[in-house]
Structure 1
Amino acid sequence: MRKMVKTMAALAICSTLVLTACGEKTKTGGTTTGSGADPNAKTTITWLNILHTASPPTDTIIKKIEEKTNAEVKFSWIPDASKEERINTSLASDSLADIVTLTILDNSSVRNALKSGVFWEVEPYLNEFPNLAKISEDTRRSASIAGKLYGIPFQKDLARNGVVIRKDWLDKVGLPVPKTMDELMEVAKAFTEKDPDGNGKKDTTGFMDRSDLVYGAFKTLGSYMGVPNYWKVSEDGKMTPEFDTEEYVKTMDYMKKLYDNGYINQDFAVTAKTDQQQKFAQGKAGIYVGALFDSKNLKNMAKGVQDNMELVLVNNITPTGSESERHIWAGNNGIGGLLAFPKSEVKDEAELKRVLKFVNDLMDDDTYALMTYGIKDVHYKVDENDAATIINQDLWQQEVQPFASSRPNETGYKIHDSDPLKAESDKLIKENANYAVLNPAYSLESETFSTQGSELQKIITDATYKYILGKIDLNGFKDAVENWKKSGGSKIISEYEAAYQEAKK
């Protein structure tokens, strides 16, 4: 596998509004209802979690999970679109839960909380539990902060992103599956201008994107164009942030061309992920950039609305079509964040072990099946090859799909999806690993980044959007980069360079 990056994964968590209930349980004497020394005791566990669907799940699967884990589970759900803006308030007010889902580990508030002892260090306990003991040393190291593991890593594939395209629309406008960035632009133009849905109206766009420069289209398209994954390191150890590269500017220019010509939804900068997916499923656009396995969900969402939808998955787009140019950013080196356990909620080692036992049980095959497919013969059926097929799509979306981001591990299970799109996405995601670009600064420490990184990133995020939307020119963007450096970015660079040299010794 080519060397290259790992990012951090999308962040996480909490609103004081939703969390008040979580805080209340500590006032009644903790969560464990059985013997505190018994990791198998009946217990109540609160979980501050991220929701990637429009509505939380009903209690059907939760009750089954409770039976499997011998625990009463009380979820506080935070919508994915608002998770980052609420993290600082939640950590500052200590409004947490027994389990907190942290999905963006480079957020300065999260990183500082982890390093300052807010959460339990868990590595000394992992080998006491069979499923947790299987977490590899590489995964443990990748998920560690300053050499310590402050939660159970979400174990995910290395590089999951790609491009999902309406194949039936390609056929309608007479274009092949794109393999270069220019060909992708041509597809976006045709999907906007040539009435691919055949309704006689100019009411479609090429791309349907969302307000996320990382998990939306921007970072994936950027990686196709050679943008480094957060940081570029030279042979002599000099570090350059991705936004200070020529390739980043070219990516902004590409997105600006899409925007200026109407080849992308004009409200992409304020569109939530759920709205993006729903509009794509409704036939408003024909190109979706994101996790390749989203294709199955998009096709299912389109049933009854766009029943003729055919999708093709693409993971090999390059500037000129050359195999040697092939790159894809690695979102997290197989780490999707942490399930972390605040010391304010999990009071002692005995309670910690009971919560760890709960997480361990979530990684059993039966519990994975529950959180992925639901209840056998109710939500899904399985064939002789352990391939699962959803038999009640509406019920599955309501009762099971909201748990998609709650599984501590997503790989290595016996049961697998029979859906052709899911099988194809699994194949391409595995192939992506050969071209994954890792973040060379992911495991390095910078005190300035830990304290100011999130605030400084807003300077670049705002400037990137303003450039794409035509509100500033290239000089304005370069001014923002200089502002980033003067406000603390230069210190981050020098601290990472020092840490990199130290790590090489």
Structure 2
Amino acid sequence: MKKRWVSMLACVTVLSTLLSACGGDKEAEKNAAVADENTPLELTWLNILHTASPPTDTIKKLLEEYTNTKITFNWVPDASKEERITTALASGELADIVTLTMMTNSSVRSSLKSGLFWDVGPYLDDYDNLAKIAPEVRAAASIEGVLYGVPFQKNLARSGLIMRKDWLDKLGLPVPTTLDEVYEVARAFTEDDPDGNGVDDTTGFGDRNDLRYSSFKTLSSYFGTPNGWKVDESGKFTPEFDTQEYMDTLNFSKKLYENGYLAQDFAVTAKTDQQQQFAQGKTGIYTGMVDISSLRTLAQDLQEGLELVPVNKISNGDGEYHIWSEGSGVGGLMAFPKSEVKTEAELKRLLQFINDLIDEEAFMLMTGGIEGTHYEFDENGAYKVLNTELWQADVQPFSSSRPSEISYTLKDANPEKQLANELIRENDQYAVFDPTVPLDSATNNEQGTELAKIITDATFKYIMGQATEDDFKKAVQTWKDSGGTKITEEYEAAYKLTQK
């Protein structure tokens, strides 16, 4: 019996040694491949998918050739990103590059601060494109001065409204410039038969179940609500939902809803469904100027005579314009987990890959695709998609993964899209920043996402007439008592440190 036990132990020891050797050999092979810059770098990328389907391999192969890599994408649908990303962070099932767009999410911030990801700040200036990332963008993307990934560079403020210009013209309405005029457009688009079919089948505002990217946040900007938080001269912080401007927005949205001028199913509507409703002519106002080309494409062959107009400057009547800024020009991070990226050499190869994606050739592959196949430049130098269906299948899913959307400016052959691009750049003048973007709160990292649900639920219930103003104020107090007051104090303390 003893001999058999010794024999079994010996076998296990030999097997363990062999497995360790195999693992060591694989790690050695990987390190050797990373060290040899002529060998394609094999990488995985946990990325967000903003389209209905993942892209074909057409553009991926060209990007691999340009960047000398072999890429495996793990796509996460945008609609389920919060659940999927937080689960991946908790389980450690990550990739070499992880796209993190929910920078205010408590799970994301906690993971970043825990040391799970590399600090890339000391490396950026070693790469020609990454070195051009502005100091204020790096600061906004950092947590307590540490940059845990390469920031996606975005325009400061892309929000605004898209309206059916053909409906405005049919009803004799001008493009609105005030909130009162926006309300009148929503009313007319609902009650005055803008499509002329004699049927009561249209609604002014389409919307979705996302408080941040729905109409509410944009309308809130127009009312002058602070972006996330208000900070006064003494350094006192007030959450946006504890301001009169937020309450004004609530009442405006509630009035839209109770009169039927706001989609009645908005609280259970996903972004893709909101887009389809607009494309099918069921709604006439959409939030998000950046989506104007997608909406036109979706409406192709569905809406004869469709004309769209982007709108970015709406005042509350005082002639002043405000629009909330999405992360102060930061669209999230491309982060590198230490569990997957184990050496500095591998990190540097991955940073070179990101740097290469900012080159104009890679930018055009991810924006337009292949010249002559997917797009062309007309006689005026304007960019034009040649085959929309092919571009959607091959190219469109990559556009949201471009490390920088601001490095190059294309003149769009579609005048609607060109105007939207110009208005998005004009928004820089009116952008309202969230003062907490570069700050940190331990309590918010731990509880922020759950606490935010208290306000989201209370906001939706108020808009839908299921709660009174007193009910909403009680929800705000619940937020404070459950950790909100502590979050406020921690932001105030962190802010004071930045003022020294």
TM-score range relative to shorter protein: over 0.9
- Contact 1:107–1:450 under 8 Å retained in 2: yes
In structure 2, what is the equivalent of residue 437 of structure 1? 432
The alpha carbon displacement at 1:425 in A equals 1.3
SS at the partner of 2:72? strand
Partner of 1:201: 199
Asked if the contact 1:97–1:345 (Cα under 8 Å) also holds between the matched residues in 2, the reply is yes
Partner of 1:162: 160
- Partner amino acid, structure 2, of 1:214: R
> Closer, same or farther in 2 for the Cα pair 1:147/1:69, shift >3 Å?
same
Report the equivalent of 1:18. Answer: none
Identify if the C-alpha distance between structure 1 residues 121 and 41 changes in structure 2 by more than 3 Å, giving closer, same or farther: farther
The residue aligned with 2:6 is none
Deviation at 1:486, TM superposition (A): 0.5
Q: Work out whether 1:381 is the aligned partner of 2:376.
A: yes
383-392 or 158-167, larger mean C-alpha shift: 383-392
- Who is 1:255 aligned against? 253
Whether contact under 8 Å (1:34, 1:41) holds in the other structure is no
Q: Indicate conservation of the 8 Å contact 1:388/1:416, yes or no.
A: yes
* Structure 2 residue identity aligned to 1:43: L
Deviations 1:153-187 (A, max 9, x none): 00010011111110110111221111111111111
* Residues 156, 428 of structure 2: 8 Å contact kept: yes
Q: CA deviation at 1:293?
A: 2.4
Give the stretch that moved more between structures: 25-34 or 211-220.
Answer: 25-34
Q: Which whole-Å CA distance do the structure 1 matches of 2:166 and 2:380 have between them?
A: 31
Distance 2:169 2:352 in 1: 52
Q: 2:364 aligns with which of 334, 358, 369?
A: 369
Matched AA of 1:299: R
What secondary structure does 2:143 align onto? coil
Q: Could you tell me which of 56, 62, 65 is aligned with 1:64? A: 62
* 2:496 maps to 1:501: yes
1:3-23 CA distance string (max 9 Å, x none): xxxxxxxxxxxxxxxxxxxxx
1:318–1:415 Cα change, 3 Å: closer
- Structure 1 counterpart of 2:402, from 393, 403, 407: 407
- In 1: Cα distance, 2:24 partner to 2:404 partner: 29
1:106 is aligned to: 104
Query: C-alpha distance in 1, partners of 2:296/2:30?
Result: 43
User: Does the Cα contact within 8 Å between 1:31 and 1:45 map onto a contact in 2?
Assistant: no
Are 1:479 and 2:468 matched, yes or no?
Answer: no
What does 1:48-447 align with in structure 2 at a 5 Å threshold?
48-290=46-288, 292-320=289-317, 322-323=318-319, 325-383=320-378, 386-413=381-408, 415-447=410-442
Helix, strand or coil for the counterpart of 1:81?
Answer: helix
- Residue 449 of structure 2 is aligned to residue 454 of structure 1: yes
How far, CA to CA, are the matches of 1:257 and 1:126 in structure 2? Answer: 49
Q: In structure 2, which of residues 437, 458, 464 is the aligned counterpart of residue 463 of structure 1?
A: 458
The amino acid that maps onto 1:141 is A
The Cα of 1:121 is off from its aligned counterpart by: 0.7
1:440-489 superposed Cα distances (whole Å, 9 cap, x missing partner): 22212221112111111111111111111122111111111111101110
Unaligned stretches of 5+ residues in structure 1: 1-24
The corresponding residue for 1:19 is none
Instruction: Tell me, yes or no, if the aligned pair for 2:369 and 2:375 is still in contact at 8 Å.
Output: yes
- Give the CA deviation at 1:86: 2.4
The equivalent of 2:9 in structure 1 is none
State whether residues 118 and 337 of structure 2, in contact with CA within 8 Å, keep that contact through their aligned partners in structure 1: yes
CA distance in 1, matches of 2:25, 2:166: 58
Indicate if the aligned counterparts of 1:96 and 1:345 stay in contact, CA closer than 8 A.
yes
Equivalent residue letter for 1:387: A
- Answer yes or no: is the 8 Å Cα contact 1:168–1:310 preserved in 2: yes
Q: CA deviation at 1:307?
A: 3.1
Distance 2:154 2:366 in 1: 15
Question: How many residues were matched structurally?
Answer: 478
Mapped to 1, the partners of 2:153 and 2:340 lie a distance apart of 24
Judging changes above 3 Å, is the alpha-carbon distance between structure 1 residues 194 and 384 closer, same or farther for their aligned structure 2 residues? Answer: closer
| C-alpha distance in 2 between matches for 1:465 and 1:235 | 32
CA spacing shift, 1:29–1:262, aligned 2, 3 Å? farther
| Residue 30 of structure 1, CA deviation | 8.9
In the alignment, the residues of structure 2 paired with residue 476 and residue 41 of structure 1 have an alpha-carbon distance, to the nearest angstrom, of 62
Q: Where in structure 2 are there 5+ consecutive unaligned residues?
A: 1-22
SS in 1 for 2:110: helix
TM-score by length of 2: 0.92
Q: CA separation in 1, counterparts of 2:129 and 2:29?
A: 23
Give, in whole Å, the separation in 1 of the partners of 2:292 and 2:46. Answer: 28
Contact 1:87/1:109 (<8 A) preserved: no
Structure having the higher Rg? 2
8 Å contact from structure 2 (residues 33, 41) kept in 1: no
Percentage identity across paired residues of the two chains: 59
Distance 2:426 2:409 in 1: 20
CA contact (8 A) 2:119 2:149 kept: yes
Deviations 1:22-52 (A, max 9, x none): xxx9996499485322445312111111111
How high is the TM-score relative to the length of structure 1?
Answer: 0.91
**8 Å Cα contact 1:365/1:414 also seen in 2:** no
Separation in 1, partners of 2:172, 2:438? 47
8 Å contact kept, 2:105–2:449: yes
Matches within 5 A, 1:7-22: none
Secondary structure (helix, strand or coil) at the match of 1:409 reads coil
- Confirm or deny: 8 A CA contact 1:26 1:345 kept in the other structure: no
**Which one has the bigger helix percentage?**
2
Flag the 1:335–1:26 CA change in 2: closer, same or farther, 3 A: farther
Q: Distance in 2 between matches of 1:88 and 1:30?
A: 31
